[in-house]
Structure 1
Amino acid sequence: MTPSTEELIAIARHYWRADDLYDSRTEPSPEFERFEALWNEKLKELDRWRALLNQLRRALPECTVGDYVAASVNGCFGALVYPLREEVLQRTQLSWTVVGYLSILAPVYTVHCVRREFVGTHLKNSQVFLEPIPLELQGIADVIAQRIEEDYGATALPLEVAQTPVSLYVHFMKPPQTTLFHALFSSEPGNIP
């Protein structure tokens, strides 16, 4: 069962500050110390996460599956699934990635897409699609969601809850732009390898 919006906000406040007082200090905030301690515990479960990634590789042999664990940066484990790259207009390429994030802070996950446009090897544009998932990628998204639900018992975070504004500083994301998505998963969802 998905925690309520109020419970998720309380969880986020436990790990992120409502001010930026520690940005100029050398010592970490109490919230960040809790965040790092939680990551240290969750990293002990890395083999379990890697087993899930191997299941995704078997279920999606036509795709490349990558691991995106940015401990002390993101509040989640991440699975990156790269379908075949589609060539468009001469030297411009569009690249889609289906991203599954499992929060370490709460028993929730999200699956979204990132579309990146390259000119040669230069990234020209990156756009995040939280919903709806493009139809041609929905099957991949469903496989990721099913694996996370079955292996971790997490529930999908509804978009309207994910977009709830929170007055918290999450790395470079500042109020009023910060949402529960940023606090529970990533402050830069379009910044993926």
Structure 2
Amino acid sequence: MAEFTLKARSIFEAVGGAHAEAQGVVFDEAPKRALVSLAARRGAAKALTAALDAAESLTLPGQGQSAEASGLVALALAPGQWFIACADAESDLEARIRAAAGDRGDVTDISDGFVALTLSGRRARDVLARLSTLDYADANFPEGAVARTIMAQIGVVIRRLPDVDEPTYALETARSSARSFAHDVATAISAVAARG
């Protein structure tokens, strides 16, 4: 009987990779990470926040914000709803968050359902402006800001990362539409570059 082995590969390999670069804008696939969705049960948001703070030293942020602690990043998507990510893709993130949440929240492992990407560079805002209607100016979308939005008709969760030298954004999009999304972002980068 033939033996088969599975090889991990980028979701973007079939379309030439996710990496795109022009005019100082860099778009790439981020390293694999663990990701869970956390939703507070009715009336339990404050107790859930206290439980996560006690168990993981992670204070769940308010809507539109993010928080980092103990190697975890929490993104507040709506009242009582968060994504929580851990850079260690092999971590027991779901079990940790489930244990901390107890009967105060519902936890779902969505690591394989979403793809993490990064967009950075001095003209990254110009690229984002071509893809969505959000205002990415510093005053309206500062470091740590989070939004769930539509970009080129595809759902995306975007977070402004701390600037090292230039604006940098983390993007989470559904794996099922990630190839189309990568193509749309690369097209927007090309359009921005063509304008000089």
Q: What's the TM-score, normalizing by structure 1?
A: 0.27
* Structure with the higher fraction of residues in strand conformation: 2
Q: Which has the higher contact order (CA 8 A, sep 6+)?
A: 2
* Structure with the higher fraction of residues in helix conformation: 1
Larger Rg: 2
Q: What's the TM-score, normalizing by structure 2?
A: 0.26
